[in-house]
Structure formats: structure tokens, C-alpha cells
Amino acid sequence: MRAFVFPGQGSQKVGMGVELAGASPAARAVFEEVDDALGQKLFAILRDGPEDQLTLTENAQPAIMANAIAVLRVLEIEGGITLADKADFVAGHSLGEYTALCAAGAFSLADTARLLKLRGQAMQAAVPVGIGAMCALLGADIVKAQALADAAAEDDVCAVANDNDPTQVVLSGHTGAIERAIALVKDFGIKRGISLPVSAPFHCSLMQPAADAMAAALEKTPPASLRVPLFANVTAAMVTDPQDVQRLLVEQVTGRVRWRESVLAMQAAGVEQFVELGGKVLGPMIGRTVADVAVTSVIGMADIEAFAKEL
């Protein structure tokens, strides 16, 4: 069995998707459709930068999605592959969950772009700059990370935002609590704590205003039926009902990204091959979480051609 997985924020870089757009009309059409949906020249930022514009949450989220869907479209149109025929499940990391749902037919490309633009704006606006922060814990499992978060919180918010793999967990919350957590890592047997260059504390209760904004947006643009089941971030379980998907997308804004558990659940469901479209971020996490699975990263034309032959 095979799962197609889609990367989240942090995987963006200037130049992403440019080679593919130059080589494939199908990829070019994806970037043009996203530009039209957003009423902005997002592909120009992807192509030329500046990097600080691409890193803005409201630009990074639709850009990462567009790049991954461009890869998928080339696979489908030029490789003659249908996602529903080749994938048993889809999953995505944080914003990648929207990409996965677009791939599975729950949202159109234009609607996905607009939802992610709004999501990025809402997450940015939820907490004033400087109030919140995030850090990555290296050499930390979920038990150590939770204990550290509890100790560092005091009267602030300090929560596990991403449980990425058995060696990497991300904390999110008030800036003071995150600074305390970084200072305390050695006391909890954690190798290192690294402050992340993010503009807001994602996936914690401070994001409630953004969750409210997404609840309103998803009422107007609800998901349709999925052609392929999704493993959801906040439950690490399979979901197919559009109403459940809608509810979980709202919960995801403030909830933990249970990526490690999702990978384990997909393996338990029979997945033997994970295919990451549009990035090389999730593959190493998957490799550190489960053994005896194949992990394939598909980004450029050469990757697409090789993968199409394999299928």
C-alpha cells in the first residue's frame, strides 16, 4: 500500500517549482491558476524572491501547496497516473493537510489557495509579533518534550505543537515560556533546543482567533467527498467524512500535529511506501519513525519520470 504525503511550512525556498514550470505546461497552469485565485503574482515571488516575502506565512502556505500540486498534476497529466489509483491514503504536515485534501479532490486548487492565504493571514494576526515563539527540541521524544513544556509554562502557554518523529518535537507558546524551555533542555535529557524563525506561535491555544477565522471560512467553502482517505493531523487516524474533515481542520489550527503517530498509524494500516510530493522534509522524519518502508521524494521532472516508470 502507498501513501502520498505533503510537506508543511519551512519547506519553502526561492526557486521552488521554477524548473518544473519551465519544463511542463501542466505545472505552469497550476501556478497560473493559483496566481489568478489570489489576485497576486505569487509565482514571481517563488521565482525571484525576495526570500522574506516568500517566508511570510500568507505567501509560504499557498506557495508550498502550489508547488506540491504542480508535481502531482505533472504526474497525472504527463505521467498518466491517477492519484486515486496509485494512493491508498494521503496525509500532510500542518498546511500540507490542505494540499493532501486538494490532491484527494476535497477542495479545488483555487479554493485551497484562498483558504491557505486566509489561514496564513489569520495565524499571523492572531498574536502580536514578539508575544509568541516556537522552538525545536532535538534528541527529544514526546514524553521528555511534554515534561519540559509543563515545567517551562509557569503561567504562560507552552505546548507541544509538532510531534514530528522520535527525535524531534516542536514547542509553541508565549515567548517567555519558550525561552525558559530552551534554557531547561539539558535538565530533561534533551540534546538541544533551537529557537525557530517563525512569525507566530502555531498549533497552540494562542491561535484560537485563527481557528475561529478558519471555522467561518470553511463554513463558506466546506470540503467535498474525498477520493482517497486522509490521515488527519490532530487524530492520527483515518478520516473520510467531509464534515469530520471540516471540524478537524479547525481543530488543527490550535491542535498538535501528530505526525509521528500518523506515520505509525499508516504503517499499521498497511502502507509500505511513502511518497513525498514537492519536498524532502517529511521523508527523513518518516525514516526515523518506522523501519522497513520505502520513502520516495518527488520534486523535479527527473524525479517524476523515474517515479512514473516505477509505477
**Domains of the chain, earliest start first:** 2-126+206-310 (3.40.366.10), 132-198 (3.30.70.250)
Q: Is the pLDDT of residue 11 over 80?
A: no
According to the model, what pLDDT value does residue 81 have?
Answer: 86
Amino acid present at 212: D
Q: Is the pLDDT of residue 10 over 90?
A: no
Cell of 192: 538541544
Cis amide linkage into residue 201, ω under 30° from 0: no
* DSSP alpha helix (H) spans, 39-141: 42-48, 51-55, 57-77, 83-86, 96-103, 109-126
- Which of 11, 94, 262, 297 is an active site residue? 94
According to the model, what pLDDT value does residue 206 have?
Answer: 98
According to the model, what pLDDT value does residue 109 have?
Answer: 98
- Mean pLDDT across the stretch 155-177? 97
pLDDT tens, residue by residue, 63-89: 999 999 999 999 999 888 899 999 999
| Average pLDDT for the chain | 96
User: What pTM did the predictor assign?
Assistant: 0.96
Q: Determine whether 93 is an active site residue.
A: no
pLDDT tens, residue by residue, 138-164: 999 999 999 999 999 999 999 999 999
- Which of 93, 203, 262, 297 is an active site residue? 203
CA atoms within 13 A on the CB side of 310: 15
Instruction: Determine the distance from the C-alpha atom of residue 108 to the mean position of all C-alpha atoms in its chain, rounded to a whole number.
Output: 18
Amino acid present at 107: F
Distance CA 246, CA 228 (A): 16
According to the model, what pLDDT value does residue 123 have?
Answer: 94
Q: What are the strands, taking DSSP E only, across the chain?
A: 2-6, 89-92, 132-138, 158-165, 168-174, 192-195, 230-231, 238-239, 273-277, 294-298
Q: Is the pLDDT of residue 25 over 90?
A: yes
